C-alpha cells in the first residue's frame, strides 16, 4: 500500500524525493512504488470572506456588527485550485493508506496541512515529519522517526484559534472604525500595536524639547577630563574661573576588568536585525534570502525563535564550524579552538534550533550565490564562529581629578583580548573603543598637572532616534513581555516568522513608510492610533492571547473558552463605539470636508 507525503512547497517536495530516492514526476506530484509526494504551495486553504456567509455583508453596515460565524467556512486561494484538486484526489485515492505531514515543523506548517486535510474530507491516519534541516541525512533520519499526527492536535487547535481570532478582530475592527470615520482603516491584532510603537516614537520626537546644559573640560596630559552635567551656565562659568591657571590633581584611579561573553546564535529576528544594521536589508528581504538558502540546503530552518542547539548536536556543530572556517574571510583565522557548550541547551529549543550553516557549504559554490544570499550566509557563518570563540576582555579605567574645588572624570579602555570581536571584525569593521574612552588613561594617584586651561562646553539633550527595522524588531520582540508568562510560546508582537509580513503590510496600506534605514508612521498611521482604544493598540492584548494560545497548544486551556472571550471583547467594542460624535471633527477629513 502507498503512503502520501504532503510538503509545504514544491522545492521541499523535490528535496524529500531526492533524499528518499523517489522518482517519477507527474502533474503536481511525484510517485514510485512506495510513496506519493505532493505539495501545498504555501497556504492552499483560507478563511472565506464575510459575504460567503451572507450577501448582505458585501456592504459594510454598523447594524451587522459584530460578524461572528456560527461555523467558519473556507475557500481555496485564487490560482491554487488546480494543486488543491491534485492533493485532494491523492488523499482520497484508494491505494493511499497513510498521509505524512511534511509541511514546515511549526504552528503555521501544522495549520497549512490540517486545513487542506479537512477541506479534502480526508480521514486517513496522519504521521508527522518534524525536522530542522533540509540536508538529505536529516530528511532520512526524520522519516525513520515519524510521529503520530495526534501528538500535534493541540498545536493545530492553537493555530486555528489564532487564525479565527485574527479574522474576527481584523474584520470587525476594520469595518467598525472605517464606518465611524468614513475611511478604510485596516486594523489588525498585531499590525496595529506595531503601528502604535511607531506613532509613540514619532510623537516623542515631534514634541521633544531640547534642553541646553554645560560641562567643563580639562586637558590633563593630552586626555580629556570632564565634569558632570551642569544645567546653569553661570555655575559652569564659575567652574571655569576657579580652574583657570590652577592645578589638577589625580585623586583616584580605578581599574576594572570586564568580560563580554560571545553572542548567542541567530534566531530569525536576531538575524533580521543584524542584516538590517549591517546591510540595510528589510525584514522581508532577509527572510526571503534565508528561505532560499534553506531550500538550497546551505542553512538550517530559518523561521525559528530559538538561539540554542540541542545537546545532542555537539559533534554536528563542531563539524560545521570546521567547514565554516574554510570560507573567506574566516579562513584567515588561526589557532582557533571552538567552545560550543554555551550554545547547547535542549530546554530552550522548542520547534526548531537556532539558525546555523550546514556542511553543504563545503562543496557548494557559494561565490555564485546572489549578493543578498551570500551576505546573509556569511553573516550566519560569522555568528556561529563568534559564538564558539573566546570572550572579549577589556579593562576600564576611571580617573578622578580635583581642580579648583571641583571634580572631573576621565575614562579609558584597554583591550586585553579581542576574542569573538576579532571574528566579527572580519565581516564588519567597528571601533576598537566602541564603548567610549581613551586607551591612554594611565594616571597614578597624586599626579599633578599645572597651568590648567578649562574649556566651557555647551551641549543639548537629544530626542529618541526614529526606529530602524533593527530597533523596531527589537521593540516588537520585547512588547508586552511584562504581561506574558515565562512559558508562553511567543512573547512580544507577532512571531519571528510573521514580523516581516506585518511591517510590509503597514507600508503597503499607507500607515508606515521607509526613509533610508528608518521606518516611520505616515500622517494617517499616526491618526489611526490616536482614535483607537487601548485594547487594539497596546501589546497587552497580544500578550494575553499568547499566554492563552500557549496553554491551548499544551492542552491546558480550552479553545472554546478562548474564542468566547474574543467574541465577548468584540461585542463590547461594537457596543461602545455605536456612533461617531458629529460634534467632534473627523481627523481623517481635511478642513474642506473632502475625505482623504
**Active-site residue set:** 301
SS3 (DSSP) at 339:
coil
Contact 485, 265 (CB under 8 A): no
Pairwise CA distance, residues 194 & 503, whole Å: 8
Q: Are residues 168 and 176 in contact, defined by beta-carbon separation less than 8 angstroms? A: no
Rg of the chain over CA atoms, in angstroms? 29
Positive or negative CA dihedral for 181, 184, 188, 191?
A: negative
CA–CA separation, 282 and 273 (whole Å): 9
Rounded Cα gap, residues 198 and 464, in angstroms: 12
Q: Cα(329)–Cα(320) distance, rounded to whole angstroms?
A: 16
Q: Which long-range contacts (CB under 8 A, 24 or more apart) does 63-66 make?
A: 65/172, 65/175, 65/176, 65/574, 66/168, 66/172, 66/567, 66/570, 66/571, 66/573, 66/574
| CB atoms closer than 10 angstroms to residue 501 | 16
Grid cell at residue 8: 509545504
Q: Would you give the DSSP letter of residue 425?
A: T
Three cell numbers at 526? 499616526
DSSP state letters, 44-109: -EEEPPHHHH-GGGGS--GGG-S---SS--EEEPTT-HHHHHHHHHHHT-TTEEEEEEES-SSHHH
Cβ partners under 8 Å of residue 108, min gap 6: 159, 303, 497
Nearest to 473 by CA among 489, 494, 488, 450: 494
Spell out the residues 6+ positions from residue 458 whose beta carbon is closer than 8 angstroms to its own: 212, 214
Quote the CA–CA distance of 591 and 596 in Å, as a whole number. 10
Q: What is the grid cell recorded at 4?
A: 502520501
Count of C-beta atoms within a 10 Å radius of residue 20: 18
How many other CB atoms sit within 10 Å of the CB of residue 448?
10
Cα separation, 305 vs 498, in Å, equals 11
Q: Tell me how far apart the alpha carbons of residues 272 and 283 are, in angstroms, rounded to a whole number.
A: 5
3 state SS of 213: strand
Amino acid at each position: 500500500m502507498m503512503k502520501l507525503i504532503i510538503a509545504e512547497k514544491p522545492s521541499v517536495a523535490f528535496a524529500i524525493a531526492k533524499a528518499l530516492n523517489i522518482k517519477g514526476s507527474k502533474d503536481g506530484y511525484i510517485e514510485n512504488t512506495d510513496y506519493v509526494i505532493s505539495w501545498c504551495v504555501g497556504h492552499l486553504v483560507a478563511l472565506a470572506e464575510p459575504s460567503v456567509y451572507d450577501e448582505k455583508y458585501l456592504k459594510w453596515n454598523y447594524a451587522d456588527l459584530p460578524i461572528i460565524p456560527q461555523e467558519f467556512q473556507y475557500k481555496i486561494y485564487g490560482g491554487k485550485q488546480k494543486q488543491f484538486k491534485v492533493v485532494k484526489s491523492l488523499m482520497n485515492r484508494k491505494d493511499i493508506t497513510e498521509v505524512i505531514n511534511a509541511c514546515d515543523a511549526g504552528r503555521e506548517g501544522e495549520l497549512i496541512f490540517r486545513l487542506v486535510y479537512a477541506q479534502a474530507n480526508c480521514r486517513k491516519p496522519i504521521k508527522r515529519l518534524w525536522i530542522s534541516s533540509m540536508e538529505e541525512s536529516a530528511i532520512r533520519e526524520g522519516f525513520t522517526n515519524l510521529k503520530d499526527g495526534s501528538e500535534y492536535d493541540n498545536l493545530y487547535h492553537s493555530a486555528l484559534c489564532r487564525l479565527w481570532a485574527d479574522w474576527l478582530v481584523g474584520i470587525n475592527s476594520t469595518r467598525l472604525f472605517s464606518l465611524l470615520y468614513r475611511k478604510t482603516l485596516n486594523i489588525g491584532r498585531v499590525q496595529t500595536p506595531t503601528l502604535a510603537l511607531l506613532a509613540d516614537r514619532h510623537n516623542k520626537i515631534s514634541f521633544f524639547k531640547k534642553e541646553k546644559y554645560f560641562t567643563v573640560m580639562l586637558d590633563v596630559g593630552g586626555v580629556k577630563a570632564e565634569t558632570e552635567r551642569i544645567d546653569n551656565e553661570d555655575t559652569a562659568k564659575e567652574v571655569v574661573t576657579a580652574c583657570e591657571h590652577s592645578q589638577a590633581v589625580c585623586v583616584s584611579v580605578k581599574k576594572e576588568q570586564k568580560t563580554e561573553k560571545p553572542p548567542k546564535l541567530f534566531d530569525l529576528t536576531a538575524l533580521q536585525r543584524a542584516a538590517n544594521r549591517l546591510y540595510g536589508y528589510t525584514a522581508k528581504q532577509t527572510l526571503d534570502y534565508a528561505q532560499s538558502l534553506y531550500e538550497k540546503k546551505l542553512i538550517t530552518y530559518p523561521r525559528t525563535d530559538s538561539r540554542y542547539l540541542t545537546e545532542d548536536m555537539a559533534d554536528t556543530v563542531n563539524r560545521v564550524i570546521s567547514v565554516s572556517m574554510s570560507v573567506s574571510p574566516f579562513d584567515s583565522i588561526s589557532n582557533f579552538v571552538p567552545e560550543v557548550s554555551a550554545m547547547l541547551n535542549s530546554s530552550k529549543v522548542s520547534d526548531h534550533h537556532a539558525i546555523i550553516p550546514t556542511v553543504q557549504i563545503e562543496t557548494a559554490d557559494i561565490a555564485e550565490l546572489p549578493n543578498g544570499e551570500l551576505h546573509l550566509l556569511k553573516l550566519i557563518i560569522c555568528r556561529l564562529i563568534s559564538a564558539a570563540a573566546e570572550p572579549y576582555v577589556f579593562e576600564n579605567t576611571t580617573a578622578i581629578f580635583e581642580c579648583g574645588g571641583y571634580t572631573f572624570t576621565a575614562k579609558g579602555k584597554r583591550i586585553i583580548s579581542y576574542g569573538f570581536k576579532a571574528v566579527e571584525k572580519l565581516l564588519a569593521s567597528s571601533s576598537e573603543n566602541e564603548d567610549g574612552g581613551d586607551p591612554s588613561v594611565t594616571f597614578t594617584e597624586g599626579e599633578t598637572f599645572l597651568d590648567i586651561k578649562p574649556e566651557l562646553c555647551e551641549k543639548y539633550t537629544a530626542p529618541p532616534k526614529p526606529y530602524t527595522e533593527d530597533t523596531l524588531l527589537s521593540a516588537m520582540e520585547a512588547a508586552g513581555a511584562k504581561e506574558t508568562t515565562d512559558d508562553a510560546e511567543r512573547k512580544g508582537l507577532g512571531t519571528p516568522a510573521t514580523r516581516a509580513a506585518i511591517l510590509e503590510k503597514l507600508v503597503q496600506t499607507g500607515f508606515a513608510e521607509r526613509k533610508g534605514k528608518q521606518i516611520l508612521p505616515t500622517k494617517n498611521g499616526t491618526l489611526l492610533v490616536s482614535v483607537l482604544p487601548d485594547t487594539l493598540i497596546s501589546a497587552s492584548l497580544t500578550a494575553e492571547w499568547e499566554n492563552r494560545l500557549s496553554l491551548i497548544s499544551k492542552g491546558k486551556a480550552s479553545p472554546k473558552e478562548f474564542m468566547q472571550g474574543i467574541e465577548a471583547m468584540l461585542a463590547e467594542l461594537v457596543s461602545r463605539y455605536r456612533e461617531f460624535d458629529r460634534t467632534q471633527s473627523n481627523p481623517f477629513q481635511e478642513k474642506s470636508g473632502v475625505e482623504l
